[in-house]
Amino acid sequence: MQVSLRDKVAIVTGASSGIGRAIALEFGRSGARVVVNYHGHREDGEEVVRQIADAGAEAIAVQGDVSQQADVRGLVEAAVDRFGKLDIMVNNAGIEQRMPFLETPLEVWEKVIAVNLTGTWLGCQEAARQMVRQGGGGRIINISSVHEDLPMPTNSPYCAAKGGVRMLARTLAVELAPHKITVNNIAPGAIETPMNSNLKEHPELLQQLLHEIPLGRIGRPEEVAQLALYLASEAASYITGSTYFIDGGMIRHSGSL
Ligand code: NAD
C-alpha cells in the first residue's frame, strides 16, 4: 500500500521526542508539511525540523504548552499562517507521574489531567474549528494508551486522563462526522521512549513487563508512527470513533477487555 500525505498539513504536539517525534518524521517523509510542537526543548524541536527538511519536506518548530488554550490556538495559527491550512491534528503530548493513590497530591492530579486530557480536548477543539472553517474535513488522532482501558495501580491521574480521551474521541467522532472530520485514538502499550527510561535502570521491572507482553518485546516509536500515518491517510477515510491498540498483545493478555 502506497501511503502519501502530499499536500497535507499536520500538527504533532509533543513532537520533540519519543512517539511524537517519530510521527512528525514519518509524516514529513510521506510528504506532509508539519508543525513540530515542542514544550521545553527548542533544540530538539529544531532537530526534528532539520530531519524533515533533509527528507525533502517542510516543517516549523513551534513552542507551546498544550494545557494552555492560547498556546494551542497558536499552533493552529502557525499552521495556517505558514502552510495555509490544517488537515491533520495529532494530540500526542503527555506526561505521567506515578505514585500511590493515597499519597497523590491534588497538584499532581491537576497537572496530569491538564496536559493529557485538557490538552487533548483543546487540541481537538482548535483543530476542528479550523477544519470546519476551511471545509473539506480533516483527521484528528489522539495518542491515548492501553491505560484508556487497562487499570494501572499508582497511576490514577494518567489512567483517568486516558480513559477520558477514550470517550472524548468517541463523542467527537459522532459530533464532527457531519463535517467529515474523523477522530481516532492510538493506544500504545510499552514503547521505548523517554517516558519509559526507568526500565533501563530497573531490569527487574523490564522482565516483569515483558511477561505481560505476548510478543515478548517493547515497541518502537516508529511502529506507532506507521499506524498514525495510516490513520492520517486517505486509506483510513471510513474509520472514525475507534481506538487502535498497538501493544504487542498486552491488553488481551491482561484480560481487561
Ligand atoms: P515522551 O516523554 O518522549 O513524549 C512526551 C512529549 O510530550 C515530550 O516531547 C514532552 O516535551 C511533551 N510534553 C509534555 N508536556 C507538554 C505540554 N504541557 N505541552 C506540550 N508538550 C508537552 O514520551 P512518549 O512515550 O513519546 O509519549 C507520547 C505519548 O504517548 C503520550 O501521550 C503518552 O502518554 C503516550 N504513551 C506512551 C507510552 C510509552 O510506553 N512510551 C505508552 C502509552 C502511551
The whole-number average pLDDT for the span 28-57 is 97
H or E segment at 33? Answer: strand 33-38
Which residues are 182's β-sheet partners?
139
Q: Name 108's Cβ contacts closer than 8 Å, sequence gap at least 6.
A: 97, 99, 157
Please give the torsion angle defined by the CA atoms of residues 171, 175, 180 and 185, in that order, rounded to the nearest 10 degrees.
-10
Cβ(82)–Cβ(9) below 8 Å: no
Atom of ligand 1 nearest to the CA of 41: 11
The string of pLDDT tens digits covering residues 99-111 is: 999 999 999 999 9
Cα separation, 219 vs 242, in Å, equals 21
Pocket residues: Cβ below 6 A from ligand 1: 13-14, 16-20, 39-40, 65-67, 92-95, 115, 143, 145, 188, 190-191, 193-196
- In the chain the beta strands, taken as DSSP E runs, fall at 9-12, 33-38, 59-63, 88-91, 138-143, 181-188, 243-246
Residue 257: per-residue pLDDT:
47
The whole-number average pLDDT for the span 178-185 is 98
Cβ(165)–Cβ(148) below 8 Å: yes
Percentage of the chain surpassing pLDDT 90? 95
In CATH terms, the fold of domain 9-252 is: Rossmann fold (3.40.50)
Whose alpha carbon is nearest atom 3 of ligand 1? 18
The string of pLDDT tens digits covering residues 14-23 is: 999 999 999 9
Residue 200: per-residue pLDDT:
86
Sole residue written with cell 480536548: 121
Whose alpha carbon is nearest atom 6 of ligand 1? 14
Give the three cell numbers for residue 46.
529544531
Examine the residue annotation and report whether 158 is marked as an active-site residue of this protein. Answer: yes
pTM: 0.98
